[in-house]
């Protein structure tokens, strides 16, 4: 823990999920300035599903991609601006445009067992001279050993940082340690290890600290935990714990507290908190961005959204399969009718 922890703020990307991707240009500018002045090292700014995500499938963002990225770039004095790309949702041309808009960090995300689809995108980001990150989503859905093999692929493609990503907030501290420890032991000494946590089981900060103690050097967080499901690791909470533990970082605790309390929380349309639906996400291991889709479908079809999420988990859904939710809700409604 002697090395200073790099904080990657995801308020303007993962936080997009919690506000239905409706941040305005003015809100993006204000949040970027606050996050930057609070000491975060990297600020990620795209649609919640990354470059190319604004669509009927995932929800249209209020502002276009160029506006989101350029506004973040223009309002950050110190932090690097990052973009997320999920191959198949975003394409290489999207990455090139984002780089042209001023993005310096590229995070290429795949399902935890599908790193092979990222080769061209990681290679292009590295060729562009971007800080290139491999982002292994839903990391609870495979063994630590298999996750390491996928990480090695991303490393070979040119990723300088590899993340264990707890997209469902389903990992325990032991689960987190097991994955980070293998990365630390078997990846190159020059490869940085990152961790992205969600708070669906109330373990966002705990897992982030476990990751740091085991060798992670880059940690994701967001103001007031703003993000999908029960939200991400909250920046202000993480800063307080790191201060208590003597972990070195660049965050200003009071500034993160004030930004979370005075600006972020009033922007929330739905409180980012652990409730019965977000807890179900973590318990069943369902992708955190499914929460609002399941909540809406449950109301529309008169079924319990927890049953939708449980069925989705049984089907093995991964990120990008939100369209399954309507079909599941219809099936549950029909079953309810038959048994009534």
Rounded to an integer, what distance in angstroms lies between the CA atom of residue 239 and that of residue 336?
Answer: 47
Instruction: Indicate whether 198 pLDDT > 70.
Output: yes
Q: Which residue has the tokens 């470059």?
A: 51
- Whole-structure pTM value: 0.92
Question: Checking DSSP bridges between strand 218-221 and strand 6-12, what pairing results, if any?
Answer: parallel
Rounded to an integer, what distance in angstroms lies between the CA atom of residue 239 and that of residue 246?
Answer: 10
pLDDT tens string 68-111: 999 999 999 999 999 999 999 999 999 999 999 999 999 999 99
pLDDT band at 183 (very low <50, low <70, confident <90, very high): very high
Domain ranges in the chain? 6-267, 289-339
Q: Exactly one of 17, 47, 99, 198 is catalytic; which is it?
A: 17
pLDDT band at 57 (very low <50, low <70, confident <90, very high): confident
**Contacts by residues 55-62 (CB-CB < 8 Å, ≥ 24 positions apart):** 57/322, 57/323, 58/21, 58/89, 58/322, 59/20, 59/21, 60/21, 61/16, 61/21, 61/22, 61/23, 62/21, 62/22, 62/23, 62/24
* 267 or 318, greater pLDDT: 267
- Return the CATH class of domain 6-267: alpha beta
pLDDT in the model for residue 2: 61
Q: Which fold has domain 289-339?
A: Helicase, Ruva Protein; domain 3 (1.10.8)
47 is catalytic: no
Q: What are phi and psi of 222, to 5 degrees?
A: -150, 155
Question: How large is the angle between the packed helices 324-339 and 305-315, nearest 10 degrees?
Answer: 120
Mean predicted confidence (pLDDT) in 268-293? 92
pLDDT tens string 210-253: 999 999 999 999 999 999 999 999 999 999 999 999 999 999 99
3-state secondary structure of 337: helix
């Amino acid at each position: 823990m002697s090395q200073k922890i790099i904080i990657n703020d995801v308020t303007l990307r993962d936080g997009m999920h919690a506000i239905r991707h409706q941040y305005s240009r003015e809100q993006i500018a204000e949040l970027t300035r606050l996050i930057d002045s609070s000491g975060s090292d990297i600020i990620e700014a795209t649609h919640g599903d990354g470059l190319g995500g604004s669509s009927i499938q995932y929800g249209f963002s209020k502002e276009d991609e160029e506006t989101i990225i350029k506004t973040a770039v223009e309002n950050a004095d110190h932090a690097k601006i990052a973009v997320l790309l999920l191959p198949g949702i975003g394409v290489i041309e999207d990455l090139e445009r984002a780089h042209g808009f001023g993005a310096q960090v590229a995070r290429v995300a795949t399902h935890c067992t599908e790193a092979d689809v990222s080769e061209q995108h990681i290679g292009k980001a590295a060729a562009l001279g971007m800080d290139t990150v491999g982002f292994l989503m839903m990391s609870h859905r495979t063994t630590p050993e298999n996750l390491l093999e996928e990480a090695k692929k991303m490393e070979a493609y040119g990723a300088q940082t590899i993340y264990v990503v707890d997209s469902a907030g389903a990992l325990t501290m032991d689960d987190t340690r097991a994955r980070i420890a293998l990365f630390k032991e078997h990846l190159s000494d020059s490869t940085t290890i990152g961790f992205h946590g969600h708070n669906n089981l109330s373990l966002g900060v705990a897992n982030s600290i476990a990751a740091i103690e085991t060798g992670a050097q880059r940690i994701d967080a967001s103001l007031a935990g703003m993000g999908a499901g029960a939200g991400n690791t909250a920046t202000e909470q993480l800063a307080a714990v790191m201060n208590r533990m003597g972990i070195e970082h660049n965050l200003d605790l009071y500034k993160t507290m004030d930004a979370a309390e005075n600006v972020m929380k009033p922007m929330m349309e739905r409180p980012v908190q652990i409730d019965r639906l977000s807890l179900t996400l973590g318990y069943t291991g369902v992708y955190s961005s499914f929460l609002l889709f399941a909540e809406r479908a449950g109301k529309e079809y008169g079924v319990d959204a927890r049953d939708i999420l449980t069925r989705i988990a049984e089907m093995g859904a991964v990120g990008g399969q939100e369209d399954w939710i309507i079909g599941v809700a219809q099936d549950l409604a029909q079953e309810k009718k038959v048994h009534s």
